[in-house]
Amino acid sequence: MILLGTLTDACGATGQRGWICQAAYELTGSEDFAKVAETVSTPIRLILVLVVAAITAWVVRRLVARSLRHARDNDRISSFRIQGDIPKLSDLELQRREGRFSTLTVALQNIASVIIWVVAGFVFLDQLGYEIQSVLVAISAISVVIGIGAQQIIKDFFGGLFILMEDQFGVGDVIEAGNASGKVESISLRVTRLRDVEGVVWWIPNGTIAEVGNRSKEWSRALLDVEFDPTVDPGSAISVLEGVGAEIMTDPEWSSRITADPEVWGVQKMNADSIQVRLVVKTIPLEQWAVARELRARIDVAARAAAVPLAGQPITGPVGEGNPISPNRASRPSAPEGEAGNR
């Protein structure tokens, strides 16, 4: 009875005494040593909580980085393909994938760290003697208030997460999102930044993007509706466009940007003023505008040479050496800086 009473005096009643205090008393039989051990045990436990939380956060961050690095290096996983052959990724696609997984890695690491440190905070408060239930009630009330005021931020966050996971678009793509269109300069979990052809920068919260059009996903297409004089025979107009398409494919400077033979789809529209014939050319991403400009200039030259006038163009003879327009000099060899977004 004397031992139990002394233990109670030193470490408190059963169920309230700390194990360090009890162990120290049982080893030494000293009430004073047990009280000192109990006093020192509190900061030791707090330090242990922080150390364990830090180590756990470091390990989890490493595991997240390693898992996503494995997914990035696995073509089937990183491209979200379920079946079929896996095509070789281009340099642009590799850059897109690298940027996408880097952003996802940072985001998931931060989420994991926040969860770990929140849990560590609760344990820390418990070691200090606070009632966790009361703390949770207070935090819940604050969270409700913050949640109501931060609904848009949360919506932006999840919108950005799905944009990255589904690879809807990436840095360098030309997209249309609502009233804004242009080249994507950066993507975060909250906002996407575009720059249009006039150099205007658009900041678009990801949660507000209801639909998006990507003009540079995997491949692009130059589409030309060429209007000929209404007196022109449609067959002749089609022949001119087919000749221009075949000619541009023999030019290495331009054929390297085209991924399939140009196609003439035929007459799109006829009226009293013109005959409209459609020519389409499949290109590598972002080259459709440069290819379209070159084709327009070559079509003008070819139409004049074949005496197949375009709408509003007078009929002229064949192009000679004095003609100032040369097919190989018809347009600049590459799109000027800032062309992205031009339609």
Residue with tokens 């070159």: 294
Reported as a pLDDT band with limits 50, 70 and 90, residue 293 is: very high
In 3D space, the residue among 1, 175, 341, 24 whose CA is nearest the CA of residue 10 turns out to be 24
Is 150 in a helix, a strand, or coil? Answer: coil
Is 311 in a helix, a strand, or coil? Answer: coil
- The 10 Å Cβ neighbour count of residue 324 is 6
Task: State how far the Cα of 126 lies from the Cα of 212, in Å rounded to an integer.
Answer: 48
pLDDT digits (tens, 9 = 90+) for 66-91: 888 877 676 544 444 444 444 455 56
pLDDT digits (tens, 9 = 90+) for 195-241: 998 999 999 999 999 889 998 888 899 999 999 999 999 999 999 99
pLDDT digits (tens, 9 = 90+) for 167-184: 888 888 899 998 899 999
User: What's the pTM?
Assistant: 0.59
Task: State how far the Cα of 253 lies from the Cα of 332, in Å rounded to an integer.
Answer: 11
Residue with tokens 């003879």: 317
Reported as a pLDDT band with limits 50, 70 and 90, residue 29 is: low
Q: Which amino acid is at 288?
A: Q
Paired tokens of 341: 């977004």
How distant, in Å, are the alpha carbons of 71, 90, 172, 284 from that of 175?
26, 20, 9, 16
How distant, in Å, are the alpha carbons of 120, 240, 243, 291 from that of 298?
69, 10, 10, 11
